[in-house]
Amino acid sequence: MAARSTDFDLAKELAKPSFTPAQRDAPALVELVVRGDEPAVTRAGPAIAGLREAGRAAIAARLDGADDGAKARLVAVLGLLARAGDAEARSQVLACTAAPTSRVRRAAAVALGKLGGDDARAALIARWDAGDAAPDERRALAEALGKLGGADALARLKSLDSGDDSELARRRDRALLMADRSAKRDESSAIATDVAPQSPLTVRLGCRPGLGPLLVEELTALGLVPRAGSDAGAEVRLASPWATLFASRLWATAAIRIAFEGASSTRIDRRERIVDPDALATAITRAITRPETRALLAAWTRGPIRWRLSFARGHKRAIVWRVARDVTAAAPELVNDPTATTWEVNVDDEAGTLELIPRRFEDPRFAWRVAEVPAASHPTVAAALAWIADVRPDDRVWDPFCGSGAELVERVRRGAYRSLLGTDLDEAALEAARQNLGAASVTAELARADARSHAPGPVDLIITNPPLGSRVRLDAAALLVTSLPNFARQLAPGGRLVWITPAPRKTTPIAEGLGMRRTRSFAVDLGGVRGQLERWDTQPANR
């Protein structure tokens, strides 16, 4: 393979997403790592790892003559190769735990913490037990042992006296959290949805923006009287098991509000608000470890109570680690585990709210959804269409843009009907609909047909969410305008059209000109796509 030209700038090329290094670039990439100039060194490491054996060979050729800083950086790259499955690179990183200099050993410890495995744990423990690690190496060893976990690693971390080394104490505390969560990860954990709370809870149910009024209607009809409602959700007072909420089909998210006394803050002006991080961490810890909160988590969790902390705005990592440490000390049964979490604790420090969000539970409402197509309806949106359509036992139902069949399934979930028909021009969509209808145990006729001309009438209900969004390359507004006359012809007297239109200013005059009357209308956000959820009624037969 020909050498690169003399004016070829490898560091500059690495910055281009389209550039792929070749094996001939391996020595030059290693030199970038040796020199240590950012951002070239950060980009060169993954590039070397991508070259596999050629990359490892280039590192081996340069490792002995490099200074300690360069060797440490090269060991980090060997760690990347080892993570990609290079057994020889792994052996070299393991060997570097016995290197003569602390800087190289520290780099090896960091790499092994990311690799995992019994051999990595054994090498790190041997280095720990040697007792001669410098403070910076000791900190790296503590963090790596926390990531690897295991009884031996946990025992050493627990017995560590950090003395006056506050950074070592911080890393030890983090390592203990990580080791503890790893030790308990084999045990399954899930939300107990069939257990009533010890006392009534405030639950915030979220829905697609614009569907809030319909959610309030549905909750009221179910006897789950909402205490407050908004454009995007409602609050209910729940005194029964979590499974009670599954009767509602319009909510998409659910969270339990718990008492939270916000931290003190200073407002510099209307745009900037500074919160005391120590006070905020203390307030969050107090809310999580309250007896009432711990009792709820214990009653509603089967298996270890795994939780993670999140914020409505920003990450606040320092506060996250402090809260995790303090909660673990105050309530050891609560296992901080961001990866396999059962409960998310979300804090909105500006609003002064804290919510418990259950993450691991079986939601039976939409178990029928086993197949998807681009721009398919979210089940809660399909459920909203079915809600405003009403239920008439003699309904002959047609979905002219049936997609994956969501609207047909959700109409069935609302009550009795006479017949179901779904049509679409996309065979893949029809196949997805067949799978979903089958999973829902719903029998319907499916056919490939054009909504602008197909004549299945008379039908009593046309319910549909036409293809919308960036993944669909068509003019949805034009499609609906040209389909409306056919819909009007197919609807029986007193029939209903329930749909979502992206352009009500275009479709409304057409529908009104066809003698239809709009009886319900809601502006909705379908995830970046705005539309109008509408119901249109035709004149009954006696008028």
Q: What is the 3-state secondary structure (H, E, C) of 206-221?
A: ECCCCCHHHHHHHHHH
Question: Under DSSP, is residue 227 helix (H, G, I), strand (E, B) or coil?
Answer: strand
Q: Which segments of 163-276 are extended strands (E)?
A: 190-191, 201-206, 226-230, 233-238, 253-258, 265-267, 273-275
Compute the distance between CA of residue 507 and CA of residue 343 in angstroms, rounded to an integer: 45
Compute the distance between CA of residue 307 and CA of residue 267 in angstroms, rounded to an integer: 31
CA angle 261, 265, 267 (to 5 degrees): 140
Domain's final residue, options 130, 151, 183? 183
Same domain, 255 and 157: no
**How would residue 87 be classed by pLDDT, with cut points 50, 70 and 90?**
very high
Same domain, 234 and 309: yes
**How would residue 229 be classed by pLDDT, with cut points 50, 70 and 90?**
confident
Q: Which segments of 126-200 are extended strands (E)?
A: 190-191
Q: What is the mean pLDDT of the chain?
A: 91
User: What is the total residue count of the chain?
Assistant: 543
Same domain, 250 and 309: yes
Q: Which residues pair with 347 in a beta bridge?
A: 311, 354
Q: Is residue 542 part of a domain?
A: no
What percent of the chain is modeled with pLDDT above 90? 72
**How would residue 272 be classed by pLDDT, with cut points 50, 70 and 90?**
low
Same domain, 329 and 385: no
Same domain, 140 and 272: no
Q: Is residue 192 part of a domain?
A: no
Same domain, 506 and 374: yes
The reported pLDDT for the residue numbered 267 is 43
Same domain, 485 and 350: no
Same domain, 380 and 508: yes
Same domain, 332 and 474: no
The reported pLDDT for the residue numbered 215 is 97
DSSP of 23-64: GGGHHHHHHHHHHT-TTHHHHHHHHHHHTTHHHHHHHHHHHT
Over 90: is that where the pLDDT of 227 sits? Answer: no
CATH number, domain of 210, equals 3.30.2130.30
Q: What is the mean pLDDT of residues 350-373?
A: 92
What is this structure's pTM? 0.74
- Cβ burial 179-212 (10 Å sphere, 16+ → b, else e): bbbbbbbeeebebbbebbbeeebbbbbbbbbbbb
Question: Under DSSP, is residue 169 helix (H, G, I), strand (E, B) or coil?
Answer: helix
Compute the distance between CA of residue 50 and CA of residue 296 in angstroms, rounded to an integer: 49
Domain's final residue, options 358, 388, 409? 358
Sign of CA dihedral 511, 516, 517, 521: negative
The reported pLDDT for the residue numbered 266 is 44
Question: pLDDT tens-digit profile of 109-147?
Answer: 999 999 989 999 999 999 999 999 999 999 999 999 988
Q: Residues 32, 38, 43, 44: what is their CA dihedral angle, to the nearest 10 degrees?
A: 10
DSSP state for residue 247 in the 8-state scheme = G
- What the block records as the tokens of 319 is 């506060």
Same domain, 402 and 528: yes
CATH number, domain of 102, equals 1.25.10
CATH number, domain of 417, equals 3.40.50.150
Q: Is residue 228 part of a domain?
A: yes
Same domain, 160 and 226: no
**How would residue 469 be classed by pLDDT, with cut points 50, 70 and 90?**
low
> How many domains, in total, are found in the chain?
3
Question: pLDDT tens-digit profile of 500-526?
Answer: 999 999 999 999 999 999 999 999 998
Q: What is the mean pLDDT of residues 165-182?
A: 84
Q: Is residue 147 part of a domain?
A: yes
Task: Give kind and range of the element (H or E) at residue 514.
Answer: none
Domain's final residue, options 154, 183, 212? 183
Which domain does 414 fall in, by range?
369-537
Same domain, 431 and 504: yes
Q: Is residue 364 part of a domain?
A: no
Judge contact between 191 and 360, C-beta under 8 A. yes
Q: Whose CA is closest to 332, among 488, 88, 500, 158?
A: 158
The reported pLDDT for the residue numbered 273 is 54
Lowest mean pLDDT of 225-229, 327-331, 356-360, 416-420, name the range: 225-229
Sign of CA dihedral 96, 100, 103, 105: positive
Compute the distance between CA of residue 325 and CA of residue 151 in angstroms, rounded to an integer: 19
Question: Under DSSP, is residue 492 helix (H, G, I), strand (E, B) or coil?
Answer: strand
Q: Are strands 305-311 and 343-348 parallel, antiparallel or unpaired?
A: parallel
Compute the distance between CA of residue 133 and CA of residue 153 in angstroms, rounded to an integer: 16
What's the alpha-carbon Rg for the chain, to the nearest Å?
A: 30
Compute the distance between CA of residue 432 and CA of residue 79 in angstroms, rounded to an integer: 44
